[in-house]
Chains A and B, each alone.
Chain A
Amino acid sequence: MARHTKLILFASLAAVWVAGCSGGDSGSSSSSSSGSSTGSGSTGGETTGSGSTGGGATGSGSTGSGSTGGELGPGAAFKCDSSGKDAWDTYGVTAFVAVNESIFSHVTSEISANGSTNVGDSFSLIGTSGHDDLPAFKGNLAAFLVYAYGGPSSITYTDGVTYTGPQDMVAIHTGMHITSDQYDYFVANVVVPALTDNGVPTGDITSCFAPVVTDAAFKASIVGH
């Protein structure tokens, strides 16, 4: 009897733990939750994982793997002007890899210019004890972007490792005290240039990329924690 009680208690707590880590906390405003005011489009539909149907994506190096869940990211609800499809279905894997690499390039440029000014120096921690190495770091960011913009909830990145897209943005940013000005600076000086550098037209930035990063709930999941 006592053993059964322990097992039930353990299972219950484990369930709470898993829910909390996966954004199930109703107060988290995590990008992976469907509580975003962008309208997450989490209709329970299965993502196929292929994704790269447009934009001439050939899947060089990185592939979208099978989705591990039915939830769609918030960007799935927004259609690009150029295609009438969401960003993932419009641009596909090659473009997402390119934009992801470009984000790193712009951050590196910021660091080169300022040391840690404006973007912090967490990048300098990559590969150090207790932190992701560079490929893992890139893979995690890519998985998040792919998921957030309508792609599968997990991907296999260029390093051959599978990464999960839905991430608890509040937990990740807790303790960093990121301000609204810093967030907006990052969007204006890293995100937009990364998109334009890779040939994403202005109309598509506005229609299918901007709604996610300018969404108040998404911003709130990063700012002020």
Chain B
Amino acid sequence: MRRAVKWTGGSLVGLAVLLTAVIAFAHTRPGRPVLRLLSRVYWPKGAGCPFGYDKIATPAQRTAAQLRFARTHAGAALAKARPALGFTFDVTRRSDVLAWAKANHVACSPGANGNDLGCTQVPGALIPIGAQALSAGALWFDFGRDGALISLVAVRRAPTAAQISAAFAAFTSSESRATGSAAFATTGNGSAAWLSGGLLRQASAEFRARDYYALARATHMTHDYLLTETYRSLAPAPDAPALSLR
């Protein structure tokens, strides 16, 4: 009896030591792959970080999200145009974007990084904004239940405040024309002088139409300036124009 207790106790201690050793190793730099593996085994959908970026919604979920968003963000009038960096809402399909990417030597990953389709290092010249060709950036596409484009986000950069300010001005001018109205809401100041005044200084402009939404934020980051643009279809256009791709 005493021997069995000893044996059991010894085994438990040994197991604890082994587990401790594995977990300790997993938290060292060489052991990161082990930690990653453990995370996948025990937290298959990601461990703890609220901003995971690694999950992908279904087209039906995206369409549902589109409708939810439209309920709270739609404007009163239909947009005169629905600019989306040369792509066409409710017409452009994933295969169109992939063909465009291939023709322009742009790397896109279907389903990567939490987006339906993400393209990286997109040359600024391919997606000009006004007269500005900003540094290469990322494009994140989402397609709805019918497979057509419903949302596009662009993240791109410029080395100077003057460039980002001009790009921001081009965005507001273009969107004013497209929606036929002034910005629904603005924050900050888009001038180069103001943006360059300190880290995380930011200007934003939001435009709303009944069938279209656009938002841009120009932000002073550490070594450069960031322009994030969001373009959304809020409802399929009744007479959507023909496919238009660069």
Q: Does A associate with B in a complex?
A: yes
A120 to B47, CA, bound (A): 12
Kindly list chain B residues whose C-beta atoms are within 8 Å of the C-beta of A112.
65, 68-69, 72
Does B245 touch A at the CB level, under 8 Å? Answer: no
Query: Is A199 interfacial (CB 8 A cutoff)?
Result: no
Chain A: minimal CB distance from B66 (Å): 8
Given contacts A20-B28, A113-B230, A174-B39, 8 further A-B contacts (CB under 8 A): A140-B48, A176-B53, A178-B113, A179-B53, A179-B138, A181-B138, A184-B226, A205-B198
Indicate which residue in A141, A184, A209 contacts B50 across the interface (CB closer than 8 Å). Answer: A141
| A80 → B minimal CB distance (Å) | 12
Given known pairs A13-B24, A174-B36, A181-B137, the reply for A120 and B202 (CB within 8 Å) is: no
B interface: dominant SS: mixed
- Asked if B228 and A122 sit within 8 Å, CB to CB, the answer is no
Chain A minimum-CB-distance residue to B32: A174
Contact A176 B52 (CB under 8 A): yes
A107 with B50: CB separation less than 8 A: yes
Among A132, A168, A176, A206, the one with the most B-chain Cβ atoms within 10 Å of its Cβ is A176
Q: Find out whether the CB atom of B35 lies under 8 angstroms from the CB atom of A192.
A: no
Choose among B16, B24, B199, B222 the residue that contacts A216 (Cβ–Cβ < 8 A): B222
| Contact of A123 (CB < 8 Å), options: B35, B50, B202, B219 | B50
A20 to B26, CA, bound (A): 8
Shortest CB distance A10–B (Å)? 5
Name which residue of chain B comes closest to A81, CB basis: B198
- Interface on A for B, CB 8 Å cutoff? 6, 9-10, 13-14, 16-17, 20-21, 25-28, 107, 111-125, 130-132, 137, 140-141, 168, 170-179, 181-182, 184-189, 192-193, 196, 202-203, 205-207, 209-211, 213-216, 225
- Per-position 1/0 for B195-211, Cβ under 8 A of A: 00111111010000000
State how many angstroms separate the Cβ of A148 from the closest Cβ of chain B: 15
Knowing A20-B28, A115-B62 are in contact, say whether A181-B200 is a contact too (CB < 8 A): no
Chain A residues with Cβ below 8 Å from B23 are 17, 20
- B55 at the A/B interface (Cβ < 8 Å)? yes
**Contacts A206-B198, A209-B200 given; does A188 touch B217 at CB 8 Å:** yes
- Judging by beta carbons under 8 Å apart, are A111 and B65 in contact? yes
Asked whether B140 lies within 8 Å of A117 as measured between CB atoms, the reply is yes
Contact with A along B38-59 (1 / 0, CB 8 A): 0110110111111111111100
| Residues of chain A lying within 8 A (CB to CB) of residue B222 | 214-216
The answer to the question of B181 belonging to the interface, with a C-beta cut-off of 8 Å to chain A, is no
Give, as a whole number of angstroms, the nearest-CB distance from B119 to chain A: 11
Chain A contacts for B142, CB-based, 8 A: 114-115, 117
Min Cβ gap B113→A in Å is 6
- Asked if A179 contacts B16 (CB within 8 A), the reply is no
Smallest CB–CB gap between A81 and chain B, Å?
9
B77, CB-defined interface residue at 8 Å: no
- Decide yes or no whether B97 CB sits under 8 A from chain A: no
Provide the bound-state CA to CA distance between A131 and B49, in Å. Answer: 10
Please provide the chain B residues from 143 to 187 with a CB less than 8 Å away from any CB of chain A in the complex.
151, 153, 155, 187
Q: Which of B40, B51, B68, B187 has the most CB of A within 10 A?
A: B51
Cβ contact of B51, chosen from A122, A168, A205, A214, cutoff 8 A: A122
Q: Is the CB of B27 within 8 A of A122?
A: no
A13/B138 contact (C-beta < 8 A), A114-B62, A188-B202, A202-B201 known: no
Check B140 against A118 for contact (C-beta < 8 Å).
yes
Please tell me if the beta carbons of B51 and A114 are within 8 angstroms of each other in the complex.
no
Whether the pair B199, A9 counts as a contact (CB closer than 8 A) is: no
Inside 8 A of A140's CB, which chain B residues have their CB? 48
- B92 touches A (CB below 8 Å): no
B90 interface residue per 8 A CB criterion: no
Contact A172 B120 (CB under 8 A): no
